[in-house]
Amino acid sequence: MDSIYYDYLVLPLLIFLARICDVSLDTIRVIMVSRGYRKYAPIVGFFQVLIWIITITRIMENLDNWLTYVAYAAGFGMGTYVGMRIEEKIAMGHELLRIITRSEVDDLVSILRQRGYAVTSVNGEGKDGAVGIVFLILKRKVMPEVIALVKKHNPKANYTIEDIRFVSESAYLPPLKRNIWSKTQHK
């Protein structure tokens, strides 16, 4: 293979791709640690550092090639983005959904419970009077489905989502396989 072709095209491309893998794994590892997945984070970290060592070695062997620096930096930026997208698709962990509404919450609570969600609701006092407050602890994978239900059945409701590090009783969480029910309801 032609040395110039390899040095100025293939090597920077390989460094760029390796850096995407390295940083994506690092992003996932950090999220795993923050969400309490301590058993898997070291395994991901092992592969992340292995890729990094191989990549940095290639750069050190080619210090006169400025394209390797650019590829390294561009791979870092793209790897951060790719890592966040992967983590978003994996959707590890649990979240707390807090819904605050000025309208009656009984219908929304009933619909959520019919779908198998464990719902806690309380009455509260807001700036402009009485409010209903609804709490749900959910697996992140089902959050979009629940948000869609809230928007459909109580579109003026305000809601917040918080990451949860630990859930003591996951038996109260509904199973993830409810798509058959959801599809039959929307037909």
Q: Assign residue 136 the CATH number of its domain.
A: 3.30.70.120
Same domain for 13 and 54: yes
pLDDT in tens, 36-79: 888 999 999 999 999 999 999 999 999 999 999 999 999 999 99
Residues 23 and 99 in one domain: no
Task: Collect all residues with Cβ–Cβ distance below 8 Å to 51 and sequence separation of at least 6.
Answer: 18, 21, 22, 25
Give the residue among 72, 94, 97 at the shortest CA–CA distance from 21: 72
The range of the structural domain enclosing residue 72 comes to 3-90
Helix (H, G, I), strand (E, B) or coil at 63: coil
| 136 and 170 within one domain | yes
Claim to verify: residue 101 and residue 78 sit in the same structural domain: no
Integer Cα distance of 135 and 118 in angstroms = 9
98 and 181 housed in the same domain: yes
Amino acid letter, residue 144 = P
163: its two tokens: 């990451």
User: Do 23 and 70 share a domain, yes or no?
Assistant: yes
Q: Report whether pLDDT(183) > 50.
A: no
Note whether 98 and 182 are same-domain residues.
yes
Q: Please state, rounded to an integer, the average pLDDT across all residues of the chain.
A: 87
Query: Does 82 share its domain with 127?
Result: no
CB atoms inside a 10 Å sphere around CB 109:
20
Per-residue tokens: 1: 């293979």
The number of distinct structural domains making up the chain is 2
